[in-house]
Amino acid sequence: MRGVKDAFNQFIFEFDARDRAQSEVEKDLLKMLQLRYKNNAPRRPPRIVLLGPPGSGKSSQCQAVAETFGLVPISVQDLLKQELQKNPENGKVIQQCLDSGESVPDNIVNGLIESRLKQSDCRVNGWVMDGFPESET
């Protein structure tokens, strides 16, 4: 995430939701999503990445944020499951990683995410993603 922060510093809002009620988090997110850099600038569809340790509720929050704000929920785990069925070549690598508890290679995950984010529903409505990035680099 360090590289993403460096490249998009003026567009990133970091928000720590630890020890906060969901209703408070939703209100703060709504305020952030309504911000504009210039008064007459068109609103861009929101792009949100939820980060946190395993078991912290990222998937639940992703669904809640998507429903509340009309965004497309994107789950890396769901993308991987779909890829298992669609692409036998990548499916072998993905299944091997899942079975061994290793992270799926970034080139596979990044390709799946890029493809999904280019779809029209994400470009028009914005999105909220959980489960990415998996690797720390």
pLDDT tens digits for range 20-32: 777 787 777 777 7
137, pLDDT greater than 50? no
Q: Which H or E element spans position 14?
A: none
79-123 pLDDT, tens digit each: 988 988 888 888 888 888 888 988 888 888 888 899 999 999 998
Cα-based distances in Å from 99 to 21, 94, 102, 125: 36, 9, 8, 35
Higher pLDDT, 59 or 1: 59
Token representation of residue 19: 């020890």
Where in the chain are the domains?
Answer: 2-130
Fold category of 2-130 in CATH: Rossmann fold (3.40.50)
> 0.85 exceeded by the pTM?
no
Quote the CA–CA distance of 49 and 76 in Å, as a whole number: 11
